[in-house]
Chains A and B, each alone.
Chain A
Amino acid sequence: MDISRLEKLAALGGLSLEGTDRERLRLEISALEALAATLPAMEDEEEPGPSHPAAPLEREAADGDRELVSDNTPAMDGVFFLTPGVPHRGDRDD
Chain B
Amino acid sequence: MIDGPAPTMARARRLRQEDAAAFQVHEYRRLEESRARQQALGAITHWLPAPGATKVPQAGPLSGFDAALKANIAAAGAPTHCGSLFLEDYRSPFDATVVRRLREAGVHFSAVTAMDEFGMGSSSEFSQIGRPVNPHDPRLSAGGSSGGSAAAVAAGHVYFALGSDTGGSVRQPAHCCGVVGLKPTWGRVSRHGLVAFASSLDTIGVLARCVADAWDVLRTMAGADPLDATSQDQPALESDYLTEQSWRGVVCAVPEDLEAWDVDHAVLAHQKENEAHLRSLGATLQPVPLKRWGDGLAIYTVLNAAQAASNLQRFDGTLYGRRGAGSSHRESLVAGRTAGFGPEVQRRILLGCHVLSGGFRDRYYLRARAGRQALTENFRHLFGGADILAGPTAPTAAFPLGTRLRDPVAMRRSDIFTVPASLAGLPAVSLPTGTDPAGLPLSLQLVAPWWRERRLCALAASLESSLGKGDSRG
Contacts and interface: CB of A to CB of B under 8 A. Distances in A.
Contact of B347 (A28, A76, A78): A28
Interface stretch (B74-82, B211-219, B269-277, B382-390): B382-390
Interface of B: 185-187, 199-200, 229-230, 232, 234-235, 238, 251, 295, 297-299, 301-303, 305, 307, 309, 313, 316, 333-335, 337-338, 341, 343, 346-347, 349-355, 357, 362-364, 366-373, 380, 383-387, 408-409, 412, 425, 448-452, 454-455
Interface residues of A, number: 48
Interface in A1-26: 1, 5-6, 9-10, 12-16, 18, 20, 25
Contacts of B251: 89
A69 interface: no
A84 interface: yes
A51 interface: no
Contacts of B425: 80, 82
A89 B367 contact: no
A85 to B, nearest CB: 9
B253 to A, nearest CB: 11
Interface string A20-44: 1000010011011101111111100
Nearest to B410: A31
Nearest to A34: B409
A76 B382 CA distance: 22
A94 B238 CA distance: 9
B452 A94 contact: yes
Interface of A: 1, 5-6, 9-10, 12-16, 18, 20, 25, 28-29, 31-33, 35-42, 45, 47-48, 66, 68, 71, 74-82, 84, 86-90, 94
Contacts, number: 147
25 contacts: A5-B354, A6-B350, A10-B350, A13-B352, A20-B343, A28-B347, A31-B408, A33-B351, A35-B297, A37-B364, A39-B364, A39-B368, A45-B362, A45-B366, A48-B370, A68-B234, A75-B370, A78-B200, A79-B200, A80-B425, A81-B187, A82-B450, A87-B384, A88-B449, A89-B385
